[in-house]
Amino acid sequence: MRKRIYLDDTLSYIRHCSQDPDWTRQLLDIADKAVDNTFIFTDRYEMERCTRPVHFDGAIDWNHIPFGDQEWCFAFSRHTFLVNLARAYSLTRDEKYRDAWIRLFEDFFHNTTIDETTRERSWRTLECGIRIENYIRSIEIFEDAKALPDDVMRDIDAFLATHVDYLLEAHTAFHRLSNWGVLQDHGLLLAASWLSMEDVQKEALRRLDEEIRLQTMDDGIHWEQSTTYHAEVLHAVLDSLLVATRLGLDIPSSLMERTHLLARGLAGIVRPDGICHLFGDSDEMDVRDILMKAAVLFDDGELSWIAQGGADNDFYASFPLDQRLPEPVAIADRSRFFQDTGNVILALSSDSEVRFHCGLYGSGHGHFDQLHFDIWHKGVEIITDSGRYTYVDGKERRHLKGSFAHNTIIVDGQEMAKMTDSWGVEDFAEPLAMEAKVTGAVKYASSAHLGYMKRGALPRRSILTLGSRYVIVFDNVASSDECDIDTLFHIDEGTDVKRLGDDVFSLSKGNAKAYMVFATPCTTTLGESVMSKRYNELLPCPLITAKTKCTGRLVNLTVICLTDDLPTIKREKVYKPLSGLQLDESVAAGLVIEDKEDRWTVCTAATEIPSGGFLTACGDAQCYARVFVKRNDEPVTVLKY
């Protein structure tokens, strides 16, 4: 006996979405192409988007790999085009969409088998798990219109039963820890629910419970270190909980608790506009509909506050049109330290924040991004990660995954780790424990890694935020031999970058404006690199590089001013007031930043220096500490003793 999985008002959702001309245009474009045996993959949650159409003149090769990229075959095998065909039929009642749906389904059902080749292509278990949701959502649309013949429905039941048997076998240690496991077992739960297989429903929930417990770190970040896969996993488990709740299934309490934690983790790591940072193998995409779903399921007002204003079309595919979110609970400061994974968000204001990473590499979706940071300001990324572009092993994949595509410290022109192929890594840059202070007007995060220890060098980066306007990047390197240091700053595509002097650049994009000031001696260059905001999309972007040499010790200070006007920035000596000893600039540096509102005195030292007395001074600020800040005449704020 078949069970209804989603809501009975699917057609109301489609009528609601049809009021959005962009939604309708994209829907009918994909559906019309599918009628003509032409396929593209541009839906928002396509994990590997492809805008290049592929057309089949004759028989469809369901295991086809065009462009040398097997990810196209995987996207093809998820059958998202079937949902678009069903929605197009519901919207227009044009029989060509229903007929194309039936033809494509029956062709795949009768002309593919599970064998050694297809297990790696059209019947890869991950794709099997994902496409089950697409099938059930499609079928329920057609059921509302009583549009599918009985013989097609019998084939669908047999098709889903095959998936159940196949996915029950696929549960190794790999699946338990990988996003694959969650996405597969979400599909397993849906198929078992459709076919009223109670034992399989229980097994699917048991697996999901174990997988989410294993894959969610205690700080709420998914272990694979990618916001895209964090979001995909969260969608799958939230949908599983929604279905299980509506069917009255027994849900493990730990599954609910860890999923809530995972939702709050995603809410904390995405940009204030709800769009994913390019963290690891990620694309820019708005995930607020996922957070809206979590807000409802967990009655969480803070998630409501973060999700408000987001795209709602996908949300209403699972909820009635009159669904309301819990009352929003405002979050005064979005700053957050994710200690277990080595991630931190330093919020300067409601429209400016820094993301900093030095921690887990995670799975093969992680990048060589130790000490990387990016800055989002007034609705745009100013300083950015470079994204992923492709999974095909080659120069683009290796560059964008490697150190040189990130805003980090490069020693002697070498990678911080060794990449063996598109997914493999050796000699990973082991992070040292991050420390952070994320409350108050002055915030701080600091970490180091061991990726260059074989070269005798240890790089450390500390980031300070001062009020709502200034970000100071304090880099220090200790080395056993002389080495060359390149500090990279990738600027978001489309940003206008101008050199205002040897050590000053202006950055402007949209309503955002900023200045970069290199406050310690270095040689700067302005060049061009590449970045990718979506899979299969490569864009040029400006690259600023600061070059220095380290002969034992090195301190570099970069000031990023999120201001319309350039403030006054002056170097200030760091000294010991007891003896008057001035500390060498290779280990300590001070700054005074002054604008119309504030005067900031900043002291940074790379190590404890007991010579000449223990008290350290910089301008009118004195303290026993390595890193401290004084604002106007306020007491000193210590960031690092």
The whole-angstrom separation of Cα 174 and Cα 179 is 9
What's the mean pLDDT in 353-364? Answer: 97
Q: What is the pLDDT of residue 2?
A: 63
The whole-chain average pLDDT of the chain stands at: 95
Write out the E strands in 143-240: none
- Is 331:305 a contact under the CB 8 Å cutoff? yes
Q: What one-letter code names the amino acid at 108? A: F
Does residue 74 surpass a pLDDT of 70? yes
What's the mean pLDDT in 553-563? Answer: 97
Q: 564: which DSSP letter?
A: S
What domain count does the chain have?
A: 4
- Is 5:194 a contact under the CB 8 Å cutoff? yes
Give the CA-trace dihedral at 101, 103, 105, 110, to 10 degrees.
Answer: 180
Q: What is the pLDDT of residue 44?
A: 86
The verdict on 5 and 105 lying in the same domain is yes
344: domain CATH number?
Answer: 2.70.98.70
pLDDT tens-place string over residues 36-56: 999 999 988 898 999 999 999
Region for residue 548 given its phi and psi (left: phi exceeds 0; alpha: psi -120 to 50; beta: otherwise): beta
The verdict on 21 and 53 lying in the same domain is yes
> Which region among 146-150, 161-165, 176-180, 417-421 has the lowest average model confidence (pLDDT)?
146-150
Tell me how far apart the terminal alpha carbons of the chain are, to the nearest angstrom: 67
Last residue of a domain, one of 331, 352, 376: 331
HSE at residue 641, side-chain half, CA atoms within 13 A, is 0
The verdict on 165 and 259 lying in the same domain is no
Helix (H, G, I), strand (E, B) or coil at 532: coil
The whole-angstrom separation of Cα 396 and Cα 382 is 22
Distances in Å between the alpha carbon of 502 and those of 390, 475, 488, 491, 562? 36, 19, 16, 18, 20
- For residue 12, name the pLDDT band (cuts at 50, 70, 90): confident
The verdict on 230 and 352 lying in the same domain is no
Q: Is 599 exposed, middle or buried (0-12, 13-18, 19+ CB in 10 A)?
A: middle
Q: What is the pLDDT of residue 102?
A: 98
Does residue 342 surpass a pLDDT of 80? yes
Q: What is the pLDDT of residue 15?
A: 83
Report residue 492 as tokens.
Answer: 């978001």
- For residue 311, name the pLDDT band (cuts at 50, 70, 90): low
Q: Which of 201, 217, 211, 219 is nearest to 179 (CA)?
A: 211
* Residues forming a β-bridge with 461: 447, 475
The verdict on 326 and 344 lying in the same domain is no
Residue for token pair 């000893």:
581
What percent of the chain clears pLDDT 70, i.e. is strictly above it?
99
Rounded to 10 deg, the angle between the 179-194 and 125-144 helix axes is: 40
Does residue 337 surpass a pLDDT of 90? yes
The verdict on 512 and 390 lying in the same domain is yes
Does residue 313 surpass a pLDDT of 90? no
- Is 211:205 a contact under the CB 8 Å cutoff? no
Does residue 17 surpass a pLDDT of 90? no
The whole-angstrom separation of Cα 388 and Cα 530 is 10
Which H/E stretch holds residue 313?
none
Q: Which of 503, 499, 489 is nearest to 541 (CA)?
A: 489
Distances in Å between the alpha carbon of 300 and those of 161, 261, 611? 37, 11, 54
Last residue of a domain, one of 331, 365, 392: 331
Does residue 101 surpass a pLDDT of 80? yes
Does residue 19 surpass a pLDDT of 70? yes
Q: 275: which DSSP letter?
A: B
Tally the residues of the chain: 641
The verdict on 575 and 559 lying in the same domain is no
The verdict on 423 and 437 lying in the same domain is yes
pLDDT tens-place string over residues 391-446: 999 999 999 999 999 999 999 999 999 999 999 999 999 999 999 999 999 999 99
The whole-angstrom separation of Cα 408 and Cα 395 is 20
Please give the full DSSP string across 450-497, using - where no structure is assigned.
-TTGGGTEEEEEEEEEETTTEEEEEEEEEESS-EEEEEEEEBPTT-EE
In which domain, by residue range, is 624 found?
567-641
Q: What one-letter code names the amino acid at 366? A: G
pLDDT tens-place string over residues 590-640: 999 999 999 999 999 999 999 999 999 999 999 999 999 999 999 999 999
Q: Which of 325, 279, 271, 275 is nearest to 302 (CA)?
A: 325
Q: Is 293 exposed, middle or buried (0-12, 13-18, 19+ CB in 10 A)?
A: buried
Q: What is the pLDDT of residue 370?
A: 98
Neighbours of 92 (CB within 10 A): 15
The verdict on 280 and 158 lying in the same domain is no
pLDDT tens-place string over residues 248-304: 999 999 999 999 999 999 999 999 999 999 999 999 999 999 999 999 999 999 999
- For residue 206, name the pLDDT band (cuts at 50, 70, 90): very high
Q: What is the pLDDT of residue 8?
A: 64
Q: Which of 89, 119, 120 is nearest to 104 (CA)?
A: 89
The whole-angstrom separation of Cα 202 and Cα 192 is 9
Q: What is the pLDDT of residue 597?
A: 95
Strands 553-561 and 599-605: unpaired
Q: What is the pLDDT of residue 376?
A: 98
306: domain CATH number?
Answer: 1.50.10.100
Q: 66: which DSSP letter?
A: G
What percent of the chain clears pLDDT 90, i.e. is strictly above it?
91
The whole-angstrom separation of Cα 87 and Cα 193 is 22
Q: 19: which DSSP letter?
A: T
- Is 269:230 a contact under the CB 8 Å cutoff? yes
- Is 389:397 a contact under the CB 8 Å cutoff? yes
Cα 190 to chain centroid, rounded: 27
Higher pLDDT, 537 or 11: 537
CA angle 287, 537, 401 (to 5 degrees): 80
Contacts 24+ apart (CB under 8 A), 14-18: 14/87, 14/90, 14/91, 14/141, 15/91, 16/313, 16/316, 16/321, 17/87, 17/313, 17/316, 18/91
pTM for the model stands at 0.96
Last residue of a domain, one of 126, 153, 170: 170
The whole-angstrom separation of Cα 478 and Cα 553 is 5
Rounded to 5 degrees, φ, ψ at 187 are: -65, -40
The verdict on 192 and 317 lying in the same domain is yes
The verdict on 11 and 143 lying in the same domain is yes
The verdict on 425 and 497 lying in the same domain is yes
Q: What is the pLDDT of residue 9?
A: 64
